[in-house]
């Protein structure tokens, strides 16, 4: 029977990789669990709740010294040194962006699984942390925008006069964009959305948004993700963004193309044409931003009184929710890795999900994995 350690995250990371609920389910899978003191403090999971769920509480070196260690933040060199030989590390290791981390993990005789390397196929959706965090971030982007905006989102007829609904534009209708559209329309706003993948039009409409087609043909996607758009597409889209910027109160941008910097969609002139008091949330800030003037991690106010939010920690701003979904994604991976339900981790490299997520195996780098057929 193996011991799982759930570590306390560093300052600035509000989430935790396991909750009392997921701990109880890990114990039911046959594991023992040690939780570092205070690990859930910022996400409203007190130590006592973990104990009630059946976990032991432990010091930092006990959690990092377990057989299987759960983290969110990539480990530091000092934390890697605390791992025991033969341990398994499960975290957000960003192997494509941090090859030096993967290499340093491989200097130890350990196995490392990266939650953000779980393939984005239907069968692995229950383990897909990128989707679960994008969903939370899209919702939170609307909450941040509503907090900054000095008016209602919903329209009202009051004794003191008629109030029009806020108008919201969401650029990019993937996981985060759809969450933002749903949240903004449920607050009563008029919501419009763009995306180069025309197949999202029905999804946008089903949650109360209006899809704005660009009407310039785009190369069909082979894997469900957007490809870089053509100059003709970008030119027509730019006209739409200029028209919309002058009209809407809120813009939320989520546009990303895998493996490339974020596309620039909203120009400085578009921002200058927005009404004072308008709000932009640039959810692509960490990848370079979709909006001219975004500063990653910062709130800025333009000369014409437009607030631009470049926050890169939107999921962490709902820490209890984010920990619950991240923890459940990790639990679902552990169910796959524990076929005997006996607290023994068995890694099956013939399984595409396990193969893809494994970036180091027994001290050898196994990233990148063979390409995965999208389903
Ligand atoms: P993403 O985060 O890579 O991109 C966000 C959005 O930006 C996408 O909708 C993309 O089309 C859009 N975009 C790209 N260029 C743009 C531009 N120039 N202008 C406006 N928008 C632009 O994508 P994502 O949200 O992770 O996922 C996209 C899609 O992939 C999902 O809608 C879904 O269909 C599919 N997906 C499937 C799974 C799964 O099966 N497990 C998981 C995740 C995503």
For the Cβ of 172 lying below 6 angstroms from any atom of ligand 1, the answer is yes
pLDDT digits (tens, 9 = 90+) for 310-366: 999 999 999 999 999 999 999 999 999 999 999 999 999 999 999 999 999 999 999
Catalytic hit among 67, 128, 195, 282: 128
Kindly list the distances between the CA atom of residue 374 and the CA atoms of 42, 195, 199, 225, 367, in Å, as whole numbers in the listed order. 37, 20, 17, 11, 18
For the Cβ of 258 lying below 6 angstroms from any atom of ligand 1, the answer is yes
pLDDT (tens, 9 = 90+) of the chain, 375 residues, equals 999 999 999 999 999 999 999 999 999 999 999 999 999 999 999 999 999 999 999 999 999 999 999 999 999 999 999 999 999 999 999 999 899 999 999 999 999 999 999 999 999 999 999 999 999 999 999 999 999 999 999 999 999 999 999 999 999 999 999 999 999 999 999 999 999 999 999 999 999 999 999 989 887 777 778 888 999 999 999 999 999 999 999 999 999 998 889 999 999 999 999 999 999 999 999 999 999 999 999 999 999 999 999 999 999 999 999 999 999 999 999 999 999 999 999 999 999 999 999 999 999 999 999 988 765
Catalytic hit among 116, 225, 230, 234: 225
Q: How far apart are CA 139 and CA 315, in angstroms?
A: 9
The residue contributing the CA closest to ligand 1 atom 24 is: 174
The residue whose CB lies within 8 Å of the most ligand 1 atoms, and thus the one to mutate among 225, 230, 263, 333, is: 225
Longest dimension (CA), the chain: 71
Catalytic hit among 114, 131, 137, 203: 131
CA of 227 to the centre of ligand 1 (A): 10
The answer to whether the CB of 176 falls within 8 A of the CB of 260 is no
The residue whose CB lies within 8 Å of the most ligand 1 atoms, and thus the one to mutate among 174, 179, 333, is: 174
For the Cβ of 195 lying below 6 angstroms from any atom of ligand 1, the answer is yes
The answer to whether the CB of 69 falls within 8 A of the CB of 90 is yes
Phi, psi of 5 (to 5 degrees): -110, 130
For the Cβ of 229 lying below 6 angstroms from any atom of ligand 1, the answer is yes
Respond yes or no: is residue 278 known to be catalytic: no
For 221, half-sphere exposure in the C-beta direction (CA atoms, 13 angstrom radius) is 16
Give pLDDT, residue 372. 85
ipTM for the predicted complex: 0.97
CA of 257 to the centre of ligand 1 (A): 8
Respond yes or no: is residue 225 known to be catalytic: yes
pLDDT digits (tens, 9 = 90+) for 190-224: 999 999 999 999 999 999 999 999 989 887 777 77
CA of 266 to the centre of ligand 1 (A): 18
Give pLDDT, residue 375. 58
Q: How far apart are CA 358 and CA 336, in angstroms?
A: 13
Q: How far apart are CA 338 and CA 342, in angstroms?
A: 7
Respond yes or no: is residue 313 known to be catalytic: no
The answer to whether the CB of 145 falls within 8 A of the CB of 180 is no
Q: How far apart are CA 326 and CA 224, in angstroms?
A: 23
The answer to whether the CB of 35 falls within 8 A of the CB of 48 is no
Kindly list the distances between the CA atom of residue 235 and the CA atoms of 217, 229, 230, 242, in Å, as whole numbers in the listed order. 12, 10, 9, 11
E strand spans, the chain:
3-6, 32-36, 56-58, 68-70, 88-91, 111-114, 156-158, 161-163, 167-171, 190-194, 209-211, 250-253, 279-282, 299-301, 307-309, 358-361, 364-365
Respond yes or no: is residue 31 known to be catalytic: no
Task: Using the atom order of ligand 1, give the atom closest to the CA of residue 203.
Answer: 32
């Amino acid at each position: 029977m193996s011991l799982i350690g759930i570590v306390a995250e560093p300052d600035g990371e509000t989430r935790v990789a396991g909750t009392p609920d997921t701990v109880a389910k890990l114990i039911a899978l046959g594991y023992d669990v040690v939780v570092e003191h205070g690990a859930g403090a910022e996400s409203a999971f007190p130590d006592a709740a973990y104990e009630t769920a059946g976990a032991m509480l432990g010091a930092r070196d006990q959690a990092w010294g377990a057989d299987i260690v759960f983290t969110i933040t990539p480990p530091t060199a000092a934390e890697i040194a605390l791992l025991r030989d033969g341990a398994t590390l499960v975290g957000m290791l960003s192997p494509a962006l941090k090859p030096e981390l993967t290499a340093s993990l491989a200097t130890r005789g350990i196995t490392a699984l990266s939650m953000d390397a779980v393939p984005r196929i239907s069968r692995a959706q229950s383990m897909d942390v990128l989707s679960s965090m994008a969903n939370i971030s899209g919702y939170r982007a609307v909450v941040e925008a509503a907090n900054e905006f000095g008016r209602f989102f919903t329209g009202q007829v009051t004794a003191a006069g008629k109030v029009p609904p806020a108008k919201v534009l969401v650029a990019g209708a993937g996981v985060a964009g759809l969450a933002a559209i749903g949240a903004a329309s449920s607050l009563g706003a008029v919501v419009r959305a763009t995306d180069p993948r025309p197949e999202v039009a029905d999804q946008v409409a089903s949650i109360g948004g209006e899809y704005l087609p660009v009407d310039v043909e785009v190369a069909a996607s082979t894997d469900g993700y957007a490809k870089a758009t053509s100059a003709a597409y970008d030119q027509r889209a730019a006209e739409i963004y200029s028209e919309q910027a002058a009209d809407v109160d809120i813009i939320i941008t989520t546009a990303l193309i895998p493996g490339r910097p974020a596309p620039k969609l909203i120009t400085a002139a578009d921002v200058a044409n927005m009404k004072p008091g308008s709000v932009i949330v640039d959810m692509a800030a960490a990848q370079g931003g979709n909006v001219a003037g975004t500063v990653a991690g910062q709130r800025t106010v333009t000369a014409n009184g437009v607030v631009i939010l470049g926050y890169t920690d939107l999921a962490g701003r709902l820490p209890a929710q984010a920990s619950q979904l991240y923890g459940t994604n990790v639990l679902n991976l552990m169910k796959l890795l524990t076929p005997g339900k006996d607290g023994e981790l068995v890694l099956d490299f013939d399984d595409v999900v396990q193969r893809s997520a494994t970036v180091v195996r027994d001290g050898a780098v196994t990233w990148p994995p063979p390409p995965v057929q999208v389903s």
